[in-house]
A and B are shown apart, each in its own frame.
Chain A
Amino acid sequence: MTDHPDLVRRSAARLAADLAARDVSAVEVVRAHLDRMDAVDGAVHAYLHRDDEGALATAREVDAARARGEALHPLAGVPVAVKDVACTVGQPTTAGSKMLEGWMPPYDATVVERLRAAGLPILGKTNMDEFAMGSSTEHSAYGVTRNPWDLTRVPGGSGGGSSAVLASFQAPLAVGSDTGGSIRQPAAVTGTVGTKPTYGGVSRYGVIALASSLDQIGPCARTVLDTALLHEVLAGHDPRDSTSIDAPVPPVVQAARRADVAGLRIGVVGGRDATGYQPGVLARFTEALDRLEAAGATVVDVACPHFDYAVAAYYLILPSEASSNLARYDAMRYGLRVDPSRGGASSAEQVMAASREAGFGDEVKRRIILGTYALSAGYVDAYYGQAQRVRTLVAHDFAAAFEQVDVLVSPTTPTTAYPIGEKVDDPLAMYRLDVTTIPANLAGVPGLSVPVGLADEDGLPVGLQVLAPAMADDRLYTVAAALERDLVDAWGAPLLDRAPEVSTSPVPTPTRQEA
């Protein structure tokens, strides 16, 4: 055990300052987190893979470099967890799928390269819905991750592993990916912070694709400033990603420190009393609006009429792209290989079919079939084509809204975390919960979720989503940081201090009814 039992509860910014002041070593920080993982991850199941040795090795290098007086990145030595969707040399990368069980990538994703270059020890790879398809981690091939606030509930998804790691103090920083809300929604239901940057703001190179035109990699943390600090490490132009934006990274850290909404015009999208939203979610949301107004912002309602069609369009575009992106998992070069004849007499086609049948879970198969259908001759215009037109209209709605306001806000999710197993057999119900987060992915604009309190009826965290125009990611941080400061002042402590201590005994999982 370490001499600093509270190290795991410190923010990344605080750890960075302590490391710089040599109050603590990077090795001590990493060891504290490894100890915490030993203590709680049996119950939470947020990590799919731990890299104790790799993290300690990085920490030792950082400590040695600091001892030599070398110039270090401000976050050097602050540990990070990476969603299992990003390729990491030396650690398996599975995207939560049996198809890639044990696959060792021969290369690092650009974001992983950047973490290594900045000296952040990578603690391990976090759980996720298979190929990021899902909103609960229940679709992981390796078992569900539990919400640290209530172990019988989901931690959100697909990046539930990253959000749970933060909420259970198993890492101060985590990398996520967000195709329709997979960073923001888990952040909201675990009382943490997460940002989906502007599309093209962070390189996707080396991150296993779900839907290429929607996927975006982003930072997750427990505070707005920490999120901004990680954002700055991850972001920036990458010539290996054709869709990467070649422009300076928005000044996100500066914005998080400024935390000033005076004079800012804030638009409420979707109304303040939308049907289908949990009362406790709406109550915390409207209180947050009042606080923003009190802090000097102007809050107005804004209409985005085409957002109503966003979920339908999204669930055509995503499966279409995914059906093509996932075609490469065919057992010919890597990954799971099933030979149906067992004697080697099968044709390549038979091996492909048997391997895909065995390697993909139900939700992945469902979306591959949907996407294949939506792209088929005779249907492509009615489905994929029509969805693309809706996408354009959603983008126009955003453009019109940002003529009137500087940022848009909404509840991040309609409800708080739901019980494990409740929606797993009702995909449409699960899809509909993405209604608030999906429009940002369709339009490529940035979004962030910040905790705004607990719902009265269940005592679970509620998140507020901030959306900004493309490449104005800094606005997310100034709004969220202002709100966070105001709320933490009012609460007297960070929201996560109110989370129950995670029981260290594993909890039985309600088993899913197989179809």
Chain B
Amino acid sequence: MPVTDDVLDLTEVLASYDPVIGLEVHVELSTATKMFCGCATTFGAAPNTQTCPVCLGLPGALPVANAAAVDAAIRIGLALNCSIAQRCRFARKNYFYPDMTKNFQTSQYDEPIAFDGHLDVEVPTGDGGSFTYRVEIERAHMEEDAGKSTHVTTGGGSSRIVGADHSLLDYNRAGTPLVEIVTRPLVGAGEHAPAVARAYVGALRDIVRALDVSDARMEQGSLRCDANVSLRPRAGEDRRGPEQLAVPLGTRTETKNVNSLRSVERAVVYEMTRQGAVLGSGAAVTQETRHWHEDSGTTSAGRPKSDADDYRYFPEPDLVPVAPSAERVEKLRATLPEPPDRRRRRLQGEWGLSDLELRDVVGSGALDLIDASVAAGASPAGARKWWMGEVLRRANAQARELGEMGLTPEHVAELDALVGAGRLNDSMARQVLDGVLAGEGTPEQVADDRGLALVSDDGALTDAVDRVIAANEAVAAKVRGGKVAAAGALIGQVMKEMKGQADAAKVRALILERLGVAG
């Protein structure tokens, strides 16, 4: 797709304009069945095998709301500090499209299940620091997903409708429960606006995962982000000051289906620079949806979208209102996990990590694994060393997630215990790790099978040290003369004599002791 849009340098954009963003995130709930019928929601089933009269919109079929999905929506609302509606209705959003079996989407309109919330997110400043930004949540509402269209051209597949000569429809996804979470306009973030967007979506993803209501996998589409971006002229020094806030919002674009955290940030940056160029040329930004192109890092014009889009919303007469009792809401509130940001701060304290270290841990997806390893008996330092070191290195090399390496927190705890007890040194432990990753068993089993254990017989070790000193008198003399660093060569030889099965630190101490030098 050729992209010919001009872009302005981000610094120039920020000098003249104030960015305002708004985020709409769709979370696909991981309920066993669909929003309004009993069909399964399994990902990847053969096309149209998970359908029934209800989700196919057959004449006469009627919806019934999935109570588990309503509970999940309420829990998401509570986790985002929202108020929960005492009574709310579904609404029909009417529009014709072949992937909508009824040609209306059952959604919520002016009566969302959750509203008026907020989420405080930690936004990195790029220089190793961070600040907290409060994202105001306007609403979270329940709705159903549509089916999936695949547009096909003869002589080769295509995903675009233009030029396609037929389309295939798979309604397996039709009726899958979604919760859409809409922010209020995020103002005052200035140059941090793209990072705020990314941090918010990341925080939201962590929350829904912690709630265990969704896989929240952006690459699979179970968490989808639409980013609204607009620019308005700068006014006053303070982007949160009354002068700036008094400037009306500029015309916005909505970039659809941005499918990774990194892309959220890039898409916001791109739209800021593109809109900056449009405005800078004296033209007006067109209100429209835009498509995000992951490969080029650009957006392209989609459907023009005006505020006058008329979906002819009206309350869904086939569904009774949802009226969760105060009791039910409080019961659900009691099931909320510790908020991810609070948990992170707690663990940071317990493990004694710097902000940067914590961010690395979170960024690599090791937080839960380390926490579970500690719970299984590992020391925090040991658990972090393994997951963030050897395991992460191997995962990166294989382009896999830490959690997919076949290593459990229990393995790490066991490995850590073997090292702590002096049975393995680091190089042996790495060999044991290789064995565990190769599926040879638990660390104990691997160490036993491979015959890996430190020699604890001091006599054998002392003999080896004496032999090496005697054979390398010149080096020994240097060490005696104060060049302690020269001991490295002796240590290496001792380790070789011991076939690696000795604790290097102990070897060093013995050599220095024998040569009468203080370590």
Chain B residue at minimum C-beta to C-beta distance from A377: B310
Knowing A324-B104, A327-B103, A328-B103, the reply to whether A241 touches B96 (Cβ < 8 A) is no
Chain B residue at minimum C-beta to C-beta distance from A211: B317
Give the bracket for the number of chain B residues in contact with chain A.
20 to 34
Chain A residue at minimum C-beta to C-beta distance from B310: A377
* Residues of B close to A107: CB separation below 8 A: 53, 58, 61
Evaluate contact between B169 and A204: CB separation under 8 angstroms. Answer: no
Evaluate contact between A243 and B94: CB separation under 8 angstroms. Answer: no
Expressed in whole angstroms, the minimum distance between the Cβ of A234 and any Cβ of chain B is 15
- Interface hit among B62-70, B397-405, B415-423: B62-70
In the complex, A376 Cα to B311 Cα: how many Å?
8
Say if the beta carbon of A109 comes within 8 Å of chain B.
Answer: yes
Evaluate contact between B96 and A205: CB separation under 8 angstroms. Answer: no
* Residues of A close to B103: CB separation below 8 A: 327-328, 330
Which of B60, B65, B314 meets A208, CB within 8 Å?
B60
Which of A93, A243, A332, A384 meets B59, CB within 8 Å?
A93
* Residues of A close to B319: CB separation below 8 A: 242-243
In the complex, A87 Cα to B320 Cα: how many Å?
23
Evaluate contact between B59 and A240: CB separation under 8 angstroms. Answer: no
* Residues of B close to A243: CB separation below 8 A: 317-320
Evaluate contact between B312 and A208: CB separation under 8 angstroms. Answer: no
* Residues of A close to B169: CB separation below 8 A: 332
Say if the beta carbon of A375 comes within 8 Å of chain B.
Answer: yes
Say if the beta carbon of A142 comes within 8 Å of chain B.
Answer: no
Expressed in whole angstroms, the minimum distance between the Cβ of A408 and any Cβ of chain B is 25
Say if the beta carbon of B56 comes within 8 Å of chain A.
Answer: yes
Knowing A324-B312, A376-B310, A380-B312, the reply to whether A242 touches B64 (Cβ < 8 A) is yes
Say if the beta carbon of B408 comes within 8 Å of chain A.
Answer: no
Evaluate contact between B62 and A242: CB separation under 8 angstroms. Answer: yes
* Residues of B close to A211: CB separation below 8 A: 317
In the complex, A100 Cα to B58 Cα: how many Å?
11
Expressed in whole angstroms, the minimum distance between the Cβ of B430 and any Cβ of chain A is 59
* Residues of B close to A514: CB separation below 8 A: none
* Residues of A close to B59: CB separation below 8 A: 87, 93, 95, 100, 103, 105, 208-209, 328-329
A191-245 contacts to B (CB < 8 Å): 204-209, 211-213, 239-243
Chain A residue at minimum C-beta to C-beta distance from B307: A377
Which residue of A86, A105, A240 has the most chain B CB atoms within 10 A of its CB atom?
Answer: A240
Evaluate contact between B310 and A213: CB separation under 8 angstroms. Answer: no
Say if the beta carbon of B222 comes within 8 Å of chain A.
Answer: no
Say if the beta carbon of A23 comes within 8 Å of chain B.
Answer: no
A-contact bits for B101-116, CB 8 A (1 contact / 0 none): 1111000000000000
In the complex, A86 Cα to B62 Cα: how many Å?
13
B-contact bits for A313-344, CB 8 A (1 contact / 0 none): 00000001101100111101110000000000
* Residues of B close to A152: CB separation below 8 A: none
In the complex, A369 Cα to B180 Cα: how many Å?
31
Which of A241, A352, A377 meets B62, CB within 8 Å?
A241
Expressed in whole angstroms, the minimum distance between the Cβ of B483 and any Cβ of chain A is 83
Say if the beta carbon of B167 comes within 8 Å of chain A.
Answer: yes
B280-313 contacts to A (CB < 8 Å): 308, 310, 312-313
* Residues of A close to B94: CB separation below 8 A: 323-324, 327, 375
Evaluate contact between A384 and B314: CB separation under 8 angstroms. Answer: yes
* Residues of B close to A105: CB separation below 8 A: 58-60
Evaluate contact between A205 and B62: CB separation under 8 angstroms. Answer: yes
Expressed in whole angstroms, the minimum distance between the Cβ of B312 and any Cβ of chain A is 4
* Residues of B close to A348: CB separation below 8 A: 98, 167
Which residue of B92, B98, B312, B313 has the most chain A CB atoms within 10 A of its CB atom?
Answer: B312
In the complex, A328 Cα to B58 Cα: how many Å?
8
Say if the beta carbon of B57 comes within 8 Å of chain A.
Answer: yes
* Residues of A close to B64: CB separation below 8 A: 239-242
In the complex, A375 Cα to B59 Cα: how many Å?
22
Sample 17 A-B pairs with CB under 8 A, ordered by A number. Answer: A93-B59, A206-B53, A209-B318, A241-B62, A242-B65, A324-B92, A324-B104, A327-B94, A327-B102, A328-B101, A348-B98, A352-B96, A372-B312, A376-B312, A380-B313, A380-B314, A384-B314
Can you add 5 more A-B contacts, CB < 8 Å, to A327-B94, A330-B96? A95-B59, A105-B58, A205-B62, A324-B104, A375-B314
* Minimum-distance CB pairs A-B, first 10: A327-B103, A375-B312, A213-B317, A212-B317, A206-B60, A208-B59, A377-B310, A328-B57, A87-B60, A328-B102
